[in-house]
């Protein structure tokens, strides 16, 4: 599976593709690598545009691996508008499992394609920032970035 690592405002990010789709985004500690694939090049270009405030949605083929429930949750995350947030309970309702907010939290935690599938837009019921695979500092950064660019 081709992958590449590039430094971003969140630190090093590694993006992996397989069979013409993005299958992974990781906050890594690795060194920058050559971007050999057109899809990975496009993914990093769109990520740079996002960080610059020039992009609010991504136009990439995504293929996250997970259970049917996890994929339903990740699809629901893609419906959260740029600059907005939803609670775990909101997502549970969106996937037709109103009492499964803890399972939604676990699915959110296992999102293999961070940022492109915006799990950072999911917050606790009281509006507090809870859980993010890359750390709450990265989640706060992404939410603040979107809020800032919405105001422009």
Sign of CA dihedral 60, 46, 107, 88: negative
Please say whether the beta carbons of 5 and 12 come within 8 A: yes
Which pLDDT tens digit goes with each residue over 119-139?
999 988 777 777 666 777 888
Please say whether the beta carbons of 104 and 142 come within 8 A: no
pLDDT of residue 133: 65
> Any idea which residues carry the catalytic annotation?
119
DSSP per residue over 56-123, as a string? Answer: SS----B-----HHHHHHHHHHTTSPTT--EEHHHHHHHTT-TT-HHHHHHHHHT-SBTTTS-GGGEE
Q: CATH assignment of 68-151?
A: 1.10.10.10
pLDDT of residue 140: 92
pLDDT of residue 36: 85
Q: Cα angle at 3 between 49 and 74, to 5 degrees?
A: 65
Q: Cα angle at 64 between 106 and 141, to 5 degrees?
A: 65
In the chain, where the domains are located: 3-51, 68-151
DSSP per residue over 13-27, as a string? Answer: EEEEEETTEEEEEEE
pLDDT of residue 132: 66
Which residues in the chain come in under a pLDDT of 50? none
């Amino acid at each position: 599976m081709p992958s590449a690592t590039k430094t971003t405002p969140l630190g090093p990010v590694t993006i992996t593709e397989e069979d013409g789709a993005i299958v992974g985004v990781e906050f890594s500690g690795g060194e920058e690598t050559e971007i050999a694939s057109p899809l990975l090049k496009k993914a990093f270009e769109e990520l740079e545009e996002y960080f610059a405030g020039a992009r609010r949605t991504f136009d990439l083929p995504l293929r996250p691996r997970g259970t049917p429930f996890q994929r339903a949750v990740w699809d629901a995350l893609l419906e959260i508008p740029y600059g907005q947030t939803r609670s775990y309970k909101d997502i549970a309702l969106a996937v037709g499992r109103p009492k499964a907010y803890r399972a939604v939290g676990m699915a959110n935690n296992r999102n293999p394609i961070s940022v492109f599938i915006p799990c950072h837009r999911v917050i606790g019921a009281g509006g507090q920032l809870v859980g993010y695979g890359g750390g709450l500092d990265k989640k706060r950064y992404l939410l603040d970035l979107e809020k800032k660019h919405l105001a422009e």
